[in-house]
Structure 1
Amino acid sequence: MSEVKKGDKVKVHYTGKLNDGSVFDSSVNREPLEFEVGAGMMIAGFDNAVNGMKVGDKKVAEIPAAEAYGEKNDDMVVSVPKAQLPPDLNPEIGQQLSMQQPNGQAIPVVVTKVETETIEIDANHPLAGKDLIFDIELVEIS
């Protein structure tokens, strides 16, 4: 039986959890996740975890933040004057917004603080700075 290696296309079922056991994503009750190993489609730790697996194998992969979505970057937390926001926007802590970069690309941000004249937004990935745990089952290699 063959083992997964770089360049293989694979299908996996997975459940992603935080250290407290809370589930942030899962393919259970959905189609398995399909990706090419080593192509940069997945976070590094997940990509590495499937290497060497065989169809039917199950494993638990503990992925440190550095191999997941990276550490939280304080430079990605910025204060924005409310005057620059759309007039009909009533920002609340935890609200997700979309911010347009100078190149036109939209990036998701989360409101982390609301003050009288400004709001603070965080453009870090929601899982940045967090160690992740994935239950992985290899379904197919092609």
Structure 2
Amino acid sequence: MSTQNVAVSEGTRVFLNFSVSLEDGSEVDSNFGGEPVDFVIGDGSLLPSFEKLIFGMSPGDRQLFTVEPENAFGQPNDNNVQLIPRSHFEEGAELQVGLVFSFADASGAELPGVIAAIDDEEVSVDFNHPLAGRTILFDVQIHRVEPTELH
């Protein structure tokens, strides 16, 4: 079966280059200029809302999508900003607004948090995704699409 006629859909392996940028043009991530990445639709490599955007695209297609926050990394949630006693940080830890610290969540998984504010008693840590509330420009070029054997 020729893979030239296969379009991106459920159960396909997609080889693509992509970039993720903000509306001001600053690039967050890109693999243009490098080897394409490949993944199977639905394997969790790409946000489901981003997967839906590339459905129907075929090898050779390139498209720039504007993705609103609700379909990208969501809106910031005030409940994701936690006050942590300053005593919970290592003595001598250099605390600065904007610094990313790694915390363990309830299951022991690593969770990054950005220091939002500091006073003598508490540190305000923002656990929202750094791109929450941001409109994302998603540039995609499809190189190859293959059916997978998983049906």
TM-score, length basis structure 1: 0.93
Q: CA deviation at 1:128?
A: 1.0
SS at match of 1:66: helix
Larger radius of gyration: 2
Is 1:7–1:39's contact at 8 Å kept on the other side of the alignment?
A: no
Determine the C-alpha separation between the residues in 2 that align with 1:47 and 1:30. 21
Which residue among 66, 71, 96 is the counterpart of 1:92? 96
Equivalent position of 2:144 in the other structure: 140
The answer to whether structure 1 residue 42 and structure 2 residue 54 are counterparts is no
- 1:4-56 per-residue CA deviation (whole Å, 9 max, x = no partner) reads 11111101111111111111110123322222223333112310111000100
SS at match of 2:34: coil
Determine the C-alpha separation between the residues in 2 that align with 1:77 and 1:99. 13
Q: CA deviation at 1:67?
A: 1.2
Which residues of structure 1 form unaligned runs of 5+? none
Runs (4 or more) in structure 1 with deviation over 2 Å come to: 38-41
Equivalent position of 2:149 in the other structure: none
Q: How many residues align?
A: 142
The one-letter amino acid of 1:140's match is R
Determine the C-alpha separation between the residues in 2 that align with 1:31 and 1:76. 36
Equivalent position of 2:10 in the other structure: 6
The one-letter amino acid of 2:127's match is A
Equivalent position of 2:126 in the other structure: 122
Q: CA deviation at 1:2?
A: 2.0
Q: CA RMSD in A?
A: 1.3
Determine what percentage of the aligned residue pairs are the same residue. Answer: 28
SS at match of 2:21: strand
Equivalent position of 1:79 in the other structure: 83
Determine the C-alpha separation between the residues in 1 that align with 2:20 and 2:107. 32
Equivalent position of 1:64 in the other structure: 68
